[in-house]
Amino acid sequence: MSVRVIVRTFSELCITAGTVIVLFVVYVLFWTGVRADREMGDQIDDLHDQWAQGTAAAPSPGASTTATPAPYRSGRPFAVMYIPRLGFTWNKPVLEGTATGTLKKGLGHYAGSARLGQTGNFSVAGHRRTYGDPFKDFPQIRRGDAVVLTDGTTWFTYRVDKGPYKTVPSDVEVIDAVPRKSGYTRPGRYLTLTTCDPEWGHSHRLIVWAHLDSTQPVEAGEPKALRR
């Protein structure tokens, strides 16, 4: 085989490899985001349809009922989260579980952590990058910021107390009922948000802790934190 043929073959292989790499980058940066945004929009639309039919996921805190709330269904949405600090158009569905497939559709509630608005630590994970980049701007969250959720019957407004706090993936205490490093010293109604760090890696985690500041029925309109 001549040198010319070898060089040409090598060049063609490099071009092919380069094309594959470019297509992969486009897929990761663009197409997964397009699909995730569409999927999250569909999840929110489905929730709104359920709520319009009177099938909200959970009763309001303190509601006078002796019925046991229906458990959250694995991989299914049950709430919508809003974080004004990340933009007044920022809203994401919250689904039950943190499996890979679930986190491609929105934010994931850690199974076993508290229910929304209830005593304990309602803990939620989300991707920093890819699949819609839901927590891309996570480091911008500051103490005092509002994190608002609704389950179709109630608005829950949490206020950030600490974070973003950097730790390692093995630090599972961050979602304890009373997280030791959060500054909380007794049981309460808390919220923990977690995502990966650095932006395109997963060697560490960023954590935000918040407490339940107020609730109001959806019939009363949007909470103050969401009003422009």
pLDDT of 34 reads: 73
Please, which residues have CB within 8 angstroms of residue 100's CB and are 6 or more apart in sequence? Answer: none
CA–CA distances in Å: residue 49 to residues 46, 55, 101, 103, 131: 5, 9, 23, 22, 24
Does residue 207 fall inside a structural domain?
Answer: yes
Domain CATH number, residue 103? 2.40.260.10
- Kindly report, residue by residue over 131-184, the tens digit of the pLDDT: 999 999 999 999 999 999 999 999 999 999 999 999 999 999 999 999 999 999
pLDDT of residue 216: 97
Q: Is residue 14 part of a domain?
A: no
In a domain, 102, yes or no: yes
pTM over 0.75: yes
Catalytic residue among 109, 129, 189, 205: 205
Q: Residue 86 in contact with residue 128, Cβ under 8 Å? A: no
Decide which of 11 and 77 is more confident: 77
Q: Is residue 47 within 8 Å of residue 94, measured between CB atoms?
A: no
Domain count of the fold of the chain: 1
Clarify whether 4 is annotated catalytic.
no
Q: Give residue-wise pLDDT tens across range 173-222.
A: 999 999 999 999 999 999 999 999 999 999 999 999 999 999 999 999 99
Mention every residue, 6+ apart, whose C-beta is less than 8 A from residue 36: 104, 105, 130, 131, 132
Nearest to 191 by CA among 101, 114, 97, 132: 114
pLDDT in tens, 91-146: 999 999 999 999 999 999 999 999 999 999 999 999 999 999 999 999 999 999 99
Given the residues 127, 128, 129, 189, select the one marked as catalytic: 127
Residue-level pLDDT at 64: 43
Extract the tokens encoding 143.
């103490």
> What is the rounded distance in angstroms from the CA atom of residue 7 to the CA atom of residue 9?
5
Write out pLDDT tens, residues 66-81: 456 789 999 999 999 9
Catalytic residue, from 109, 129, 189, 196: name it. 196
Residue of 64 and 188 predicted with greater confidence: 188
pLDDT at residue 25, as a whole number: 46
**21 pLDDT band (50/70/90 cuts)?**
very low
Q: What pLDDT shows up at residue 32?
A: 66
Q: How confident is the model at residue 4 (pLDDT cuts 50, 70, 90)?
A: low
Is residue 119 within a helix (H) or strand (E), and if so which, with residue range?
none
Residue 148 within a domain: yes
Q: Tokens 């949405």 identify what position?
A: 77
Residue 36: predicted pLDDT: 78
In a domain, residue 39? The reply is yes
Confidence grade of residue 6 (pLDDT, cut at 50, 70, 90):
low
Q: Output phi, psi for 60, to 5 deg.
A: -70, 155
Give the DSSP letter string of 86-97. G-TT-EEEEEE-
Query: 24 in a domain, yes or no?
Result: no
* Residue 13 belongs to some domain of the structure: no
Distance spanning both ends of the chain, measured CA to CA: 71
- Annotated catalytic, 202? no
Q: Is 167 a domain residue? A: yes
**Host domain of residue 68:** 30-226
Q: Of 26-30, 84-88, 127-131, which range is least confident?
A: 26-30
